[in-house]
Amino acid sequence: MRGTGDELHQQAGNSHPQLTTNQGAVLSDNQNSLKAAVRGPVLLEDFILREKITHFDHERIPERIVHARGSAAHGYFELTSSLSSYTTAKVLTEVGVRTPLFTRFSTVAGGAGSVDTPRDVRGFAVKLYTKEGNWDLVGNNIPVFFIQDAIKFPDLIHAVKMEPDRGFPQAATAHDTFWDFISLTPESMHMIMWAMSDRTIPRSLRMIEGFGIHSFRLVNAKGNSTFVKFHWRPKLGLQSTVWDEAVKLAGADPDFHRRDLFEAITSGNFPEWELGVQLFTEEQADRFPFDHLDATKLIPEELVPLKIIGRMVLDRWPDNFFAETEQVAFCPSHLVPGIDFSNDPLLQGRLFSYLDTQLSRLGSPNFHQLPINAPKCPFANQQRDGHMQHQVPKGRVAYEPSSLQGDSPREDARAGFHSFAAEETGARGRVRAESFADHYSQARLFYTSQTAFEQAHMASALVFELSKVDTLAIRELIVGHLRHIDEDLANRVADGLGFEQKPEAPPASAPLVKMKVSPALQIIGKMKSTLEGRAVGILINDGSDAKAINRLAKAARSAGATVKIVAPKVGGATLSDGTKLPADGQLAGTPSVNFDAVAIVLSAEGAAQLSGEAAAIQFVQDAFGHLKALALDDGGRSLFDAAGLKADEGVFAAKAVDDFIEGAKGRYFEREAAVRILA
């Protein structure tokens, strides 16, 4: 007897290639191991079984120590404005040329199998396969970092990861060791403000900004250097979830961001970002009221405006997750001539770490030969051999200088990479610059630049996180730091934690510098009033009004949204006109957190039935609680009433299609006071 399923295979009738071992021997039977008799035992001789199982046993490679959970896509960068007076790098000077690239987004703290929506920084790593070699711009969705010196990175990461004795919490900053480290590391306070903002709970990876963080240098043909900061700006605007929504999404769809990116790209809605640069000279930098080499500081756009120079489009999902997304190896040290590093001590440490980590993760100094990592321009040198060498170099010369082989690669003094001839002076030592001492001014700048809604979210996030910290002294010390940033913020958090007295502020290492508020730091100010790239869910049941559903779906689609039908059964519902409309999601498995706005179209009986269904009540309660627009027909309205909700200006009659579509383009932050108590 053959194995189950075999007959079904045969019926499929396609002309499949032959199944072989890794040595090319064709298999006659992929269902059964080789047995000494019909009921066993299995023979050790079965090389086919052993090869298959051995390979399987070795399928996993070490996951990234940070940024393990990620999703990636192929695309291209197109330069729209040349930087030829600043740099020789062709990727930044050849207008209109499309440079292929691969971009990987990630969370930082969780393992590869963790969920997509924890409160966490998002990695934003771009590998550009330029004509002059690979350029990796390995950034985050936040323009600053927790620490100033790479030597603290292992401590930071050990503090944020699962606590070593208990193995939890996974993918969460809300625990003692993280806040213990932070409370003793005042330089992290600016980043903490960003981490506690809604930037760390994005709606979609297509709606985040990206930042290279560090200052880099551009170097022109004359050898002159200009500092540069890189920014990616999403075409769809910034959009975040609210915290309760992010928490529920973690259960409803652990792959929410990956699925969103996959669905957008495979349906032809290619996500797009603008590349912007902030350019400044050393002399300008000397006049900034902060040190630009300190990665806990940003350069406000009001001080150095952003110049848009190109765009990135992601238009192709990888063919294979492991071969591409998992094996891609980003290194900030992958640079091309015309771009150079700055002395930022965090960047300098990273230049070592990434190459080193690839050796341990991918296991070979030849990781650059993997298809996803290999440059798309010619590359050749005298490095040889090593684990898993894929190249077969010809000839007897594997050294330089040499005279024996005319085609042996040689250096090129003109076109080759030149490090900028910066002058360095001073005493060596394990030191930190005095100019890095101010830890609170930019934290304050960030907080005070936010809208009142965003400030309330930050205060509430701090209360949430610190409420998960068992050690009272840690909670107190954090509130003490907050007093340097903003007394009102400190009061709100102290109150939210139930403190009777506000703790003392720890001593500050530098006086506060006053800075002009920077609205560019908000999310709300950068949200776009649009349904492009968003999703509208329509909840239906048997008897729902076919015309109303059609009208709403059509209008939402023509405004750029995807529309998904939700019904108690995935097979769909029989509508008022007798037609059967299949559902995209079953109600119990498709809560409203999946959508940016919802419509509820129900007959009286359909509504009566769903009023006794918790999933339907939560569908409407959550859409309302997550500040979304709702369209309701009479049946929808009775479900809304059964959920105990009171309508506001974000609740529309299903008939008022245009108003609903307009309303669905944003969130109703004013509603929040009616649905939750914020700090």
- C-beta of 297 vs 637, nearer to ligand HDE: 297
What is the Cα–Cα distance from 488 to 499, expressed in whole angstroms?
Answer: 14
Residue 139 CB, nearest approach to ligand HDE (Å): 5
Q: Is the Cβ–Cβ distance between 446 and 194 less than 8 Å?
A: yes
β-strand partners of 274: 233, 311
CA 77-79-83 angle, to 5 degrees, is: 130
* Residue range at the interface with ligand HDE (CB under 6 A); choices 61-69, 277-285, 441-449, 546-554: 61-69
Please tell me whether residue 185 binds ligand HDE under the rule CB under 6 A: no
Residue 103 CB, nearest approach to ligand HDE (Å): 9
Closest CA to 242 of 651, 672, 539: 672
Residue 17 CB, nearest approach to ligand HDE (Å): 33
* Residue range at the interface with ligand HDE (CB under 6 A); choices 15-23, 349-357, 601-609, 611-619: 349-357
Residues between 135 and 164 with contacts to ligand HDE, criterion CB under 6 A: 138-140, 145, 150, 153
- What type of residue sits at position 555? A
**Paired tokens of 509:** 């290492």
Per-residue x/- marks for ligand HDE, 198-237, CB under 6 A? ---------------x------------------------
What is the Cα–Cα distance from 30 to 22, expressed in whole angstroms?
Answer: 14
Please tell me whether residue 397 binds ligand HDE under the rule CB under 6 A: no
- The residues that are catalytic are 67, 140
Give the DSSP letter string of 387-437. TT------SS--SSS-SS-TTS----TTTS---------S--SS---GGG-
Please tell me whether residue 350 binds ligand HDE under the rule CB under 6 A: yes
- C-beta of 64 vs 564, nearer to ligand HDE: 64
What is the Cα–Cα distance from 196 to 189, expressed in whole angstroms?
Answer: 10
Q: Is 627 left (phi over 0), alpha (psi -120 to 50) or beta?
A: left
Q: How many residues does the chain have?
A: 679
Per-residue x/- marks for ligand HDE, 95-124, CB under 6 A? ---------x-x----------------x-
What pairing do the DSSP bridges indicate for beta strands 98-107 and 122-130? antiparallel
Per-residue x/- marks for ligand HDE, 256-295, CB under 6 A? ---------------------------------------x
From 100, 349, 525, 585, residue interacting with ligand HDE (rule: CB under 6 A): 349
Please tell me whether residue 354 binds ligand HDE under the rule CB under 6 A: yes
What is the Cα–Cα distance from 540 to 551, expressed in whole angstroms?
Answer: 14
Please tell me whether residue 69 binds ligand HDE under the rule CB under 6 A: no
From 353, 448, 509, 550, residue interacting with ligand HDE (rule: CB under 6 A): 353
Q: Which residue, judged by CB position, is nearest to ligand HDE in the bound state? A: 123
Residue 396 CB, nearest approach to ligand HDE (Å): 36
What is the Cα–Cα distance from 460 to 454, expressed in whole angstroms?
Answer: 10
- C-beta of 350 vs 665, nearer to ligand HDE: 350
* Residue range at the interface with ligand HDE (CB under 6 A); choices 60-68, 217-225, 307-315, 607-615: 60-68
- What type of residue sits at position 245? E
- C-beta of 86 vs 153, nearer to ligand HDE: 153
SS3 label, residue 59: coil
Residue 176 CB, nearest approach to ligand HDE (Å): 23
473 burial via Cβ count (<10 Å: 0-12, 13-18, 19+): exposed
CA atoms within 13 A on the CB side of 137: 29
Closest CA to 205 of 328, 321, 105, 317: 105
- C-beta of 140 vs 522, nearer to ligand HDE: 140
From 66, 264, 299, 610, residue interacting with ligand HDE (rule: CB under 6 A): 66
Contacts to ligand HDE by CB under 6 A: 64-67, 70, 104, 106, 123, 125, 138-140, 145, 150, 153, 213, 295, 328, 330, 346, 349-350, 353-354, 357
